[in-house]
Amino acid sequence: MARSADVVVIGGGLHGCSTALHLALRGLRPILVEKDYAGRHASGVNAGGVRQLARHLAEIPLSIASMALWEKIEDLVGDDCGFVSHGTVLVAENEEELAGFRVRVEDLRLKGFTHEELIDRAELKRLVPAVADHCPGGVVSRRDGAADPFRTTQAFRKRAVEKGAEVLEGVTVTGLARAGSLWRVETSAGPIEAPKVVNAAGAWADRIAAALGEPVPLEVIAPMLMVTSRLPAFIEPVVILRGRKLSFKQLDNGTVVIGGGHLAVPYRDENRTVIDWTKLATSARTVWELFPAMRAATIVRAWAGIEARMPDDIPVVGPSATSEGVFHQFGFSAHGFQLGPGTGAVMAELVATGATNTPIDGLGIGRFKR
Amino acid sequence: MNAADLAPSYDLAVIGGGPAGLAAASLAARAGLSTVLFDENPGVGGQIYRGITSTPVTDRAILGEDYWAGAALSADAQASGALIVGGATVWSLDPQRIVGVSIDGKARMIEAERVIIATGAQERPFPVPGWTLPGVMTAGGAQTALKAQGLLPAGRTVIAGTGPLLWLLAAQILRAGGKIEAIIDTTPRGNWLRALLHLPDFVLSPYLAKGLKLLREVRAKAPVVRADRIAAVGTDRLSEVVFGLGDGERRIAADLLLLHQGVVPNVNLAIAAGATHEWNERQLCFQPVLDQDFGSSVPGIAVAGDGAGIAGGTAAAERGRIAAIAAVRALKPEATVPDPQTVRQRLQREEMGRAFLDWLNRPADRFRQPEGDTVVCRCEEVTAKQVRDMAAMGCEGPNQMKAFLRCGMGPCQGRLCGLTVTELIAKQRDTTPAEVGYYRLRPPVKPITLAELASLPISETERKAVER
């Protein structure tokens, strides 16, 4: 005897939990199936950047929708998720980079987006006093910030359950097939039948898509992060670079999280990653140059979370192209954390009503059809 | 020795220069393997033979003949042709056997065909009320100071706990002219029942005669009292030790409290390298799953010595030899090596009697599963109550606990709280430590500075990217 639900959400990352919450808020009964535990992978261990800055045009609407939710996150999930808003600063390392940034900011402005703001050397120094003197300026998105990723994912999970969602952890999806007008999701804890299914399976989402006859060129990646021991407070905004890979932020407890997208070697079937120290050394050299004050800092841990990257570096969000009632929400390509709250809301709207007012053109799975 | 002078690769890298590492490196180098041994201390010896080439304690009777056995092992390794590098901190080992090591502020990654992890044991956490007060330290720490610098404990000294090392340290302090106010023996009396089952093996082992002699020696010079609870008390630092048995309670004014309740494998490097570990119920600790040659679940990586499960220094050397023989046979089958069967027989003899000691010295539950405000994670100041409450609320494992409470996320990498957190979760959730598991540990297994990391030589691919 199969259990029944209104929607089966596959994957307990931030996106799956957010969608489950928003479905429950719409009065639907979702069951979320997670093979490990909520936030076990990238959602729980990412850098925690809540960033609108430097996003691909196609995902800016989702990012803006998310930002509105982040700013009242406690109302939504009953926990502040450690969210603090000190902005994100994209630092230009030379005049040529700054010129490129100027073009981008102008272009966004013409399209009606005003969250990115070009800053000169003086404003950069005011926002990030510790940055090396050779940097001529940058871009700031002042409403951006950072949050605690595991706490955020857990808060969404918890609130989803409080609002009527069921969350099955340690349960693996083993199959997916039509059963009359319903979808039958086979799991290690027995079958579940539901009219709608959301594929939020992250680095494992391609397997669901392939089972539906719409294979996607998903790459399994594991962006690396490292963290220092506690240092006196010296920087408030999150700092990112364009030319070289770096993201850099100091937490309230004084530790500094250094990331930026250098990749570990992922083993998704073993839930394991192997750190590549030669690449982290590159990050260390970048920090060495940009933040001289950091040279004596001690690195106490390094880690990587497994997730999915699409070839065009933007996610797959929208209905399946082959299977009525199935929706995709994966492939956030190392920048999905900020998008979690808003994309869950949009996805729930899409599932419940069949449409959404938030533009998600350009994110459909059809773009990979040959 | 500079990091830059290391070769890019070796046949065998041995990590740790205690008995297992020294014996392994010596055997492998003599069989013709290019062998490097890294030890984070300036001199070899590990904890058991700490300072063996440099100790200022020249009266051999003080540290005892078992200590001086390390001199031969060290000399043998030095003469073997192995490259022995002191002051070398290994902070990473991955499943492809790439070793990250720092020497004098500079880092290098080197490759090895085989790796023998010989990082030995560490003291079991002893989380009693007040154990974080200045004036409270581990017996092992005091022993290190005695061996390496010839330092005796200063002020009124109390030693508390259980296990052979406790008695050995007491004897060494007394022989060197030190004074001990009291030895508080926390060995639960009930342990004898279980231990007696293993008495026959123990009687035949070398431990019995040594052990009895040591106990007699210590009891003749220092008062020994039993206790089933203990607390360190003081405002800014230790002022007295409060302990009791049953209804009774006693207080001893003290300047120094040395705590010890046995040693457990130092698992950080092996776990970070991806080796599968299992719970050892007798020794109440995690240990790597190993084959008969001490090979771990990761191909090419072996764990020898006490890191493979506690068996003591002499057994550690034999285990190192067995692991080294396997490395030689894999890489250089034509080389002459000692007959492994003979080594195995010697090892078996050394391991006899271990079961008796383990069961006898098994620390009581309350000394492993603290309550209330007793600190569990010293780095992040997380209490027993916080861990218990979080487990009761549904937190199923140490890795989620890390995310909620930050326990295990400080510079010690969980060494001082890992077992306690696992046991508390198991207790609170009415399951077993085996089910709960241990921290997922990641490199760097020892902290490394940003400057050290930045000093890693630039890789070929990166150089090409820059040139293009």
Q: Per-residue pLDDT for B443 more than 60? A: yes
Q: How much is the pLDDT for B442? A: 87
Read off the pLDDT band of A321 (50, 70, 90): very high
Q: Dump pLDDT digits (tens) for B141-151.
A: 999 999 999 99
Distances in whole angstroms, Cα of residue B91 to Cα of each of A25, A279, B47, B458: 48, 16, 19, 18
CB contact under 8 A, B442 and A278: no
Q: Nearest C-alpha of chain B: how many angstroms from A228?
A: 8
Q: Per-residue pLDDT for B459 more than 70? A: no
Token pair for residue A132? 């090396």
The one-letter amino acid at B63: L
Local structure of A299: helix, strand or coil: strand
Q: Dump pLDDT digits (tens) for B297-320.
A: 999 999 999 999 999 999 999 999
Token pair for residue A287? 């920090």
> Which of A39, A277, A295 lies at the smallest CB-CB distance from B109?
A277
Q: Dump pLDDT digits (tens) for A157-196.
A: 999 999 999 999 999 999 999 999 999 999 999 999 999 9
How many Å apart are CA B421 and CA B368, to the nearest integer? 9
- Paired with A168 in beta bridges are A33
The one-letter amino acid at A150: F
Token pair for residue B192? 């004898």
Q: Per-residue pLDDT for A118 more than 70? A: yes
| Mean pLDDT of all residues belonging to chain B | 94
The one-letter amino acid at B281: E
CB contact under 8 A, B450 and A228: yes
CB contact under 8 A, B443 and A302: yes
Q: How much is the pLDDT for B277? A: 98
Q: How much is the pLDDT for B467? A: 46
Of the candidates B43, B13, B57, the one whose C-alpha atom is nearest the C-alpha of residue B323 is B13
Neighboring chain A residues of B406 at a CB cutoff of 8 Å: 253
Distances in whole angstroms, Cα of residue B56 to Cα of each of A204, B61, B76, B180: 60, 13, 21, 22
CB contact under 8 A, A296 and B448: no
Q: Dump pLDDT digits (tens) for A328-347.
A: 999 999 999 999 999 999 99
Q: Nearest C-alpha of chain B: how many angstroms from A312?
A: 22
Residue B404 backbone dihedrals phi, psi, to 5 degrees: -80, -45
How many Å apart are CA B78 and CA B31, to the nearest integer? 15
CB contact under 8 A, A298 and B449: yes
* Phi-psi domain of B186 (left: phi exceeds 0; alpha: psi -120 through 50; beta: other): alpha
Read off the pLDDT band of B457 (50, 70, 90): confident
Local structure of B263: helix, strand or coil: strand
CB contact under 8 A, A229 and B92: no
Q: How much is the pLDDT for B468? A: 40
Which has more confidence, B461 or A244? A244
Neighboring chain A residues of B444 at a CB cutoff of 8 Å: 299-302
Spatial contact of B363 and B123, defined as CB atoms under 8 Å apart: no
Spatial contact of A35 and A171, defined as CB atoms under 8 Å apart: yes
Q: Per-residue pLDDT for B462 more than 70? A: no
User: Which one of B450, B456, B459 would you mutate to disrupt binding with A, by most A Cβ within 10 Å of its Cβ?
Assistant: B450
What average pLDDT score do residues B166-173 get?
A: 95
Distances in whole angstroms, Cα of residue A64 to Cα of each of A13, B89, B373: 20, 47, 45
Neighboring chain A residues of B411 at a CB cutoff of 8 Å: 229, 298, 300
- Among chain B residues, the shortest Cα distance to A39 is held by B400
Token pair for residue A300? 């106490």
CB contact under 8 A, A281 and B451: no
Measured N-to-C along each axis, helices B340-351 and B313-331 cross at an angle, to the nearest 10 degrees, of 160
CB contact under 8 A, B444 and A297: no
Of the candidates A13, A23, A60, A54, the one whose C-alpha atom is nearest the C-alpha of residue A331 is A13
How many Å apart are CA B171 and CA B167, to the nearest integer? 6
CB contact under 8 A, B107 and A281: yes
Size of the A and B interface in Cβ pairs below 8 Å: 89
> Which of B447, B448, B456 lies at the smallest CB-CB distance from A278?
B456
Read off the pLDDT band of B152 (50, 70, 90): very high
Residue A368 backbone dihedrals phi, psi, to 5 degrees: -100, 5
> Which of A37, A229, A280 lies at the smallest CB-CB distance from B400?
A37
The one-letter amino acid at A23: L
Q: Nearest C-alpha of chain A: how many angstroms from B86?
A: 21
Local structure of B43: helix, strand or coil: coil
Q: Per-residue pLDDT for B406 more than 80? A: yes
How many Å apart are CA A319 and CA A321, to the nearest integer? 6
Neighboring chain A residues of B448 at a CB cutoff of 8 Å: 298-299
- Among chain A residues, the shortest Cα distance to B456 is held by A281
User: Which one of A274, A276, A289 would you mutate to disrupt binding with B, by most B Cβ within 10 Å of its Cβ?
Assistant: A274
CB contact under 8 A, A44 and B451: no
Q: Nearest C-alpha of chain B: how many angstroms from A229?
A: 7
Parallel/antiparallel/unpaired status of strands B121-123 and B263-265: antiparallel
CB contact under 8 A, A274 and B447: no
Residues from A contacting B (CB-CB < 8 Å) are 37, 39, 44, 150-151, 154, 228-229, 253, 272, 274-275, 277-278, 280-282, 284-285, 287-288, 294-303
Percent of chain B with pLDDT strictly greater than 90: 87
CB contact under 8 A, B411 and A278: no
CB contact under 8 A, B94 and A296: no
User: Which one of A81, A258, A280 would you mutate to disrupt binding with B, by most B Cβ within 10 Å of its Cβ?
Assistant: A280
Q: Would the CA dihedral through A132, A133, A137, A141 be positive or negative?
A: positive
Spatial contact of A361 and A58, defined as CB atoms under 8 Å apart: yes
CB contact under 8 A, A150 and B443: no
Alpha helices (runs of H) in A212-291, residue ranges in sequence order: 277-290
The H or E element that residue B107 is part of is: strand B106-117
Spatial contact of B172 and B63, defined as CB atoms under 8 Å apart: yes
Vertex B50, ends B100 and B448: CA angle to 5°?
25
How many Å apart are CA B241 and CA B159, to the nearest integer? 10
How many Å apart are CA B462 and CA B468, to the nearest integer? 10
Residue A141 backbone dihedrals phi, psi, to 5 degrees: -120, 105
Q: Dump pLDDT digits (tens) for A40-89.
A: 999 999 999 999 999 999 999 999 999 999 999 999 999 999 999 999 99
Read off the pLDDT band of B464 (50, 70, 90): low
A186: which residues sit within 8 A by CB, 6+ positions away? A173, A174, A175, A176, A177
What average pLDDT score do residues B440-462 get?
A: 85
CB contact under 8 A, B94 and A275: yes
CB contact under 8 A, A296 and B450: yes
Neighboring chain B residues of A39 at a CB cutoff of 8 Å: 403
- Among chain B residues, the shortest Cα distance to A44 is held by B403
Q: How much is the pLDDT for B209? A: 87
Read off the pLDDT band of B411 (50, 70, 90): confident
Q: Dump pLDDT digits (tens) for A247-289.
A: 999 999 899 999 988 999 999 999 999 999 999 999 999 999 9
Report pTM.
Answer: 0.92
Spatial contact of A82 and A148, defined as CB atoms under 8 Å apart: yes
How many Å apart are CA B187 and CA B208, to the nearest integer? 17
Token pair for residue B103? 């020497």
Neighboring chain A residues of B396 at a CB cutoff of 8 Å: 37
User: How many angstroms separate the first and last alpha carbons of chain A?
Assistant: 39
How many Å apart are CA A343 and CA A363, to the nearest integer? 12
What average pLDDT score do residues B38-52 get?
A: 93
Token pair for residue A352? 């419940």
How many Å apart are CA B268 and CA B441, to the nearest integer? 6
Local structure of B418: helix, strand or coil: helix
Which has more confidence, A211 or B207? A211
CB contact under 8 A, B442 and A299: no
Cis peptide before B444 (omega within 30 of 0): yes
What average pLDDT score do residues A137-158 get?
A: 96
Q: Nearest C-alpha of chain B: how many angstroms from A283?
A: 8
Q: Per-residue pLDDT for A354 more than 80? A: yes
Q: Nearest C-alpha of chain A: how many angstroms from B107?
A: 10
Q: Dump pLDDT digits (tens) for B212-244.
A: 999 999 999 999 999 999 999 999 999 999 999
- Among chain B residues, the shortest Cα distance to A155 is held by B404
CB contact under 8 A, A282 and B462: yes
Number of C-alpha atoms within 13 angstroms, CB side, residue A17?
31
How many Å apart are CA A23 and CA A29, to the nearest integer? 7
| CA dihedral angle for residue B442, residue B291, residue B84, residue B44, rounded to 10 degrees | 80
What average pLDDT score do residues B367-395 get?
A: 95
B323: which residues sit within 8 A by CB, 6+ positions away? B20, B24, B116, B293, B294, B295, B302, B303, B304
How many Å apart are CA A341 and CA A22, to the nearest integer? 9
> Which of A151, A229, A284 lies at the smallest CB-CB distance from B454?
A284
Task: Please provide the size of chain A in residues.
Answer: 370
Residue B303 backbone dihedrals phi, psi, to 5 degrees: -125, 115
Q: How much is the pLDDT for B460? A: 57
CB contact under 8 A, B453 and A275: no
Spatial contact of A146 and A32, defined as CB atoms under 8 Å apart: no
How many Å apart are CA A136 and CA B305, to the nearest integer? 56
Q: Nearest C-alpha of chain B: how many angstroms from A359?
A: 35
